[in-house]
Amino acid sequence: MDSAVAALLLREQGRRVRAASLKLWPGDDVRSCCSDDALRRARDCAHRLGLPFAEIDDEEPFRRLVVEPFVRAYLDGETPNPCADCNRFRLADLVARAAAVGAPWVATGHYARIVWRGGEPFVARPRHVRKDQSYMLWRVAPQTLAHLELPLGELTKEEVRHLAEDAGLPVAHQPESQDVCFATAGYRQFLRKRGVASQPGAVVDRSGRVLGRHDGQWAFTVGQRRGLRLASSEPLYVLERRGAANQVVVGRHDELMADSFVVRELDDRGLGEGRGLCVQSRYRAGAAAVAGVRRLGGGRAEVRLVAPVEAPAPGQSAVFYDGDVIVGGGVVDATTSAAAAGNRLRTV
């Protein structure tokens, strides 16, 4: 629906519009944005709008660049962000394909904005932040952003749905697709179908004391409380997952809190020393105020926070905002617990 309304708005501006959808993953789950049913709905919307339609087969690069790294990350003890990887690859691919047919712009239905600073394009939050999708666009390269338009950046979801209804689009009341389009039944079931087997291991505390057993560290999430099957006089939370040792580390909630963390694959588009910025380390989490950013070399940096927050999971995206504008990002690599002795970094 969002992409169809983006096309509608551009057509009403008098633009010459072509519609395209990417076939990224096999299957017929209606919750997936790239299922056969979703592609049929996209074609129906394009025809309703009088637009030429193309279906693009990108299954092989999607499997190689998004799905396989997703599986490896879970086995390594990380919690990946496949949507950020997907947006980087698919939007670059669409811009290249558009250029090949003489189209200078690619428009999508993301709720975000493109703003220009010093002659360069940046992603920014939308005017109405309830459906903010800017976080998932942080890995899109500037050369791709320069050819990207986001027509829904000024609209609410309700306004978009009304536009779809008024235009008689068949997707006006379509439920929203899942965040991870290829794992609509949940990542655990997806990993099992991909051949990831149960691997019993130890549940330990910070000191290494064994508290229980698990069937596979990849089935747990940092911050998880339920389903640990541990006898304890106080609530315990997953603090980290150790892929190589096949351990799940648990502890008190105060041990989960972090006043700094390390990122790798740093993308610095104006971080400076970090003061005055905010960083968002989960898609649906609020942003935390940054006290400072210290470069460690090799594309890594330590991020110090003004106040402790629940530790972000390794593998997640840490996205830096200057007001509403994304000025950098990285992949969470390590955390510092505010309760740890000496507040020293621990490597995950």
Rg (CA), the chain: 22
Contact between residue 103 and residue 226 where contact means Cβ atoms under 8 Å apart: no
Q: What's the rounded Cα separation, in Å, for the pair 94 and 106?
A: 7
Query: Is 86 labeled as catalytic in the residue annotation?
Result: yes
33, 45, 83, 181: the catalytic one is: 181
Contact between residue 310 and residue 76 where contact means Cβ atoms under 8 Å apart: no
Ramachandran assignment for 239, one of left (phi > 0), alpha (psi -120 to 50 degrees), beta (any other):
alpha
In this structure, the strands spanning 106-107 and 148-149 are parallel
Q: What's the rounded Cα separation, in Å, for the pair 76 and 217?
A: 9
Residue with the two structure tokens 């306004």: 159
Helix (H, G, I), strand (E, B) or coil at 4: helix
Buried residues in 27-47 as b, exposed as e (16+ CB within 10 A): eebeebbbbeebbebbbebbe
33, 34, 45, 86: the catalytic one is: 86
* Enzyme catalytic residues: 86, 181
